[in-house]
Amino acid sequence: MKTTVLLLVLFLAGSAIAAAPNVLWIITDDHRADSIEAWNRATSGKSASALGYVSSPQADRLAGEGVLFTRAYCNSPGCAPSRTSMHYGMYPHRSGHFGFEKSYQNAAFTKPTLPQLMSKRGYSTAHFGKRGFYIFKWIGKPSYTDAGFYDVSIDMKKDLGANRLTDWTSGQNWKVKGGPLNEIFWGFPGEPALLSWPVDRKAKWNAKPPAEVMEKTRQIDERLGILRSYTRSNPNLILGGVSPQPTDKTMDGEITAAFEAFLSQRGRAYTTPWQRDVRGPPADKPLMVHLGYHFPHTPVLPSKEFRDRFSGCTYRVPEFNEDELKTLPPQLLDLHKQMNFSGMEPEEKQQAIRDYYAFCAMGDSLVGRAVDAFRDFSKRSGRGYLILYVIGDHGWHLGEQGIEAKFAPYDTSNHCAVIAVSSDKETWPAGKVSHELVEFVDFSPTILRAGGADLKEKAYAHLDGLPLDDTLHGRAHRDYVIGEMNQVIGPRAYLRSDDFAFSMRVRSKNGKPGEKWGNKIGEDIKWGLEAPREAVEMALYDLRRDAREQHNVADDSRYTKLADWFRVKLGNIVLGDGRVECDWKKENEYVISDFAPGSHDRKLNIPGELIPAL
């Protein structure tokens, strides 16, 4: 009898694995939702963005075959905290990861990531391109190595860039005694150019290179039409130009090629062009792939093929008036100072916008290639599929608030789009559009459920999100989205609803918890709720009359009580509802703050008397 039951259990488990769909999770970088024509049509009725011409035939095709979520919000407007939050399925305040700090899974409070959970469900997992999540394995004091939670990982820098297979790569390599060797590689056809120079260990990373390197850089800039962000705190960011390589040989082209090669080797071992031995997808397991594209992150370098298509376009630069700065708190004034776009010349602004959208169009063509290869692989494997296309790990300003940047609590930094396409048309019907609020923490439970997980099980209790299909079919709803960031301007959290956008400083010091310039972990944790009003630097926008967030009314006498209400609501959530602060330079030292459990109830219920009449 026991043998029969055991065999039945094994049979059912094997049947579940056999029926499990393949999953393709695509994430692009710094990608505005308005670069997608289908998104523009769904939100404004026009194919062009509010700035002008865009092109996205492949994303439009996907939107027509699946579900477009027009109001998807990241939970941190920076690459590392956003991607870390997505991989954990947890808000930054519950994972303890607020910026670009290196975190790890040795601390007792940490949870498994999405690929680790999918592995436990019998999936083979793989990653291609940009990782961006700062989750490592602790091996020393403090020292870290790759956490290795993808079975196969081909990284855009360590594999493609390091082997100079792309149009560019850059980084700091510790090859010089006393300091790093700064390197920039340009992949010109037939004549690769490597610029390298030593930098003293104590010098600033952006210290000027030697005169001969500067001259070579000037020549390359002229050759490629490079536009640099010389008005910003980081003068080396490339905001426009043309790639020295055709589309297939760009960084994103090589990422796509590596993914296609992997899918073509199902059940076999093969050797990459840079002589690395890799095994293709197992023939007896479902596959989950994280495909991390670089575009349209800086350096913004569309191939000539796509840049030429946009060459005659003129764009409407977002409105910005210096008077907007008069009502901003110090943190947001500092952001404008560091990321100032308004000081650029008119033609430079036009190039920055034009090349950005051209880069998005180039990436769109590669996404289409990857999707076709994945669906063909799934068909050959005899499996269904789920494709989750995350259009941007966060947004990107092209002049809104007078900046070209991210890292901000504004809508443009946080508002993205998501497309879900599946062979399961009952769950994911074709041509459907959802305008409901969704968050990036929703992706992990969505993918896990598609893989057969029962989300009520204890193993998934830590997940903060709501499965996208629950929102789509009316089984779940939220009144607001939240997020937190601690990079560039210090700690700031935000909450956004249909009618209002609110943000505040949540910690008194600018560094991350446990760092030299930050608060000690758990120190004065209620500061954001108890400090003098002006110290928490509140910003409040009434979106009913100010959709572009140009007039901060947090100190307007008509709105002060409403701003104070939002301060309590958001402060209780991010400071007192399971907040984790960890000293990531130590193996297992952390504090969990839980003085306001249940504050994050996804409901607002603002007292009516606090809301000014229009």
Q: pLDDT tens across 87-133, in order?
A: 999 999 999 999 999 899 888 999 999 999 999 999 999 999 999 99
Distance linking the first and last C-alpha atoms of the chain:
72
Residue linked to tokens 């409105």: 319
Residues 442 and 490 in one domain: no
Antiparallel, parallel or unpaired: β 152-155 and 269-271 = unpaired
Residue 152 structure tokens:
């196969």
C-alpha–C-alpha distance, residues 373 and 190, integer Å: 30
Handedness of CA 233, 239, 241, 242 (dihedral sign): positive
Residue 540 structure tokens:
């409040």
- Answer for the pair 434, 427: CB distance below 8 angstroms, yes or no: no
Angle at 548 between CA 542 and CA 554, to 5 degrees: 35
- Residue 163 resides in a domain: yes
Residues 339 and 206 in one domain: yes
**What's the one-letter identity of residue 340?**
N
Structural element, H or E, at residue 491: strand 491-497
Say how many C-beta atoms besides its own lie within 10 A of residue 142's C-beta.
14
Q: How far is CA 456 from CA 426, 444, 453, 463, 547, in A?
A: 22, 14, 9, 10, 38
Ranges in the chain, pLDDT < 50: 5-13
Residues 457 and 507 in one domain: no
Residues 505 and 395 in one domain: no
Give the residue among 383, 377, 409, 376 at the shortest CA–CA distance from 395: 409
CA 222 to chain centre: 31
Residues 174 and 246 in one domain: yes
Angle at 275 between CA 160 and CA 287, to 5 degrees: 70
CATH code for the domain of 592: 3.30.1120
Residue 383 structure tokens:
């499996």
Q: How far is CA 318 from CA 109, 290, 405, in A?
A: 44, 34, 14
- Residue 575 resides in a domain: yes
Task: Return the pLDDT at 141.
Answer: 76
Say how many C-beta atoms besides its own lie within 10 A of residue 108's C-beta.
6
Residues 491 and 461 in one domain: no
- Answer for the pair 463, 90: CB distance below 8 angstroms, yes or no: yes
Predicted TM-score (pTM) of this structure = 0.95
Residues 446 and 579 in one domain: no
- Residue 15 resides in a domain: no
C-alpha–C-alpha distance, residues 213 and 190, integer Å: 20
Residues 575 and 517 in one domain: yes
Which residues share a beta bridge with 415? 73
> What is the DSSP secondary structure assignment for residue 266, as one 8-state letter?
T
Largest CA distance in the chain: 82
C-alpha–C-alpha distance, residues 355 and 308, integer Å: 10
H helix runs in 210-322, sequence order? 211-224, 251-263, 304-309
Report the domain count for the chain.
2
Handedness of CA 249, 252, 253, 259 (dihedral sign): positive
- Residue 280 resides in a domain: yes
Residues 290 and 413 in one domain: yes
Task: Return the pLDDT at 180.
Answer: 78
Which residues share a beta bridge with 152? 126
User: How many helices (H) and strands (E) in the chain?
Assistant: 16, 24
- Answer for the pair 58, 391: CB distance below 8 angstroms, yes or no: no
User: 282-320: per-residue pLDDT in tens?
Assistant: 999 999 999 999 999 999 999 999 999 999 999 999 999
Beta strands in 89-192 (DSSP E): 103-104, 124-129, 135-138, 144-146, 152-155, 168-176, 179-186
C-alpha–C-alpha distance, residues 429 and 422, integer Å: 8
Which residue range forms the structural domain that includes residue 338? Answer: 23-305+317-472
Length of the chain: 614
Residue linked to tokens 């997505």: 86
Give 409-413 contacts, CB < 8 A, sequence gap 24+. 409/77, 409/332, 409/483, 409/485, 409/492, 409/493, 409/494, 409/501, 409/503, 409/539, 410/501, 410/549, 411/496, 411/501, 411/549, 412/32, 413/77
Task: Return the pLDDT at 191.
Answer: 83
C-alpha–C-alpha distance, residues 567 and 533, integer Å: 9
Of 419, 451, 472, the residue at which a domain comes to its end is 472
- Answer for the pair 287, 340: CB distance below 8 angstroms, yes or no: no
**What's the one-letter identity of residue 212?**
E
- Residue 401 resides in a domain: yes
Task: Return the pLDDT at 577.
Answer: 98
Give the residue among 569, 431, 416 at the shortest CA–CA distance from 502: 569
Three-class SS state of 247: helix
Give the residue among 163, 123, 130 at the shortest CA–CA distance from 21: 123
Residues in CB range of 50: below 8 A, 6 or more apart: 34, 44, 316, 318
C-alpha–C-alpha distance, residues 211 and 288, integer Å: 48
Residue 287: φ, ψ to 5°: -120, 135
- Residue 310 resides in a domain: no
Of 439, 472, 505, the residue at which a domain comes to its end is 472
CATH code for the domain of 354: 3.40.720.10
Residues 194 and 324 in one domain: yes
Of 438, 453, 472, the residue at which a domain comes to its end is 472
Residues 542 and 526 in one domain: yes
- Answer for the pair 551, 324: CB distance below 8 angstroms, yes or no: yes
- Residue 296 resides in a domain: yes
Task: Return the pLDDT at 178.
Answer: 62
- Residue 190 resides in a domain: yes
Residues 422 and 522 in one domain: no
Give 608-612 contacts, CB < 8 A, sequence gap 24+. 610/561, 610/562, 610/565, 611/499, 611/562, 612/542, 612/558, 612/559, 612/562
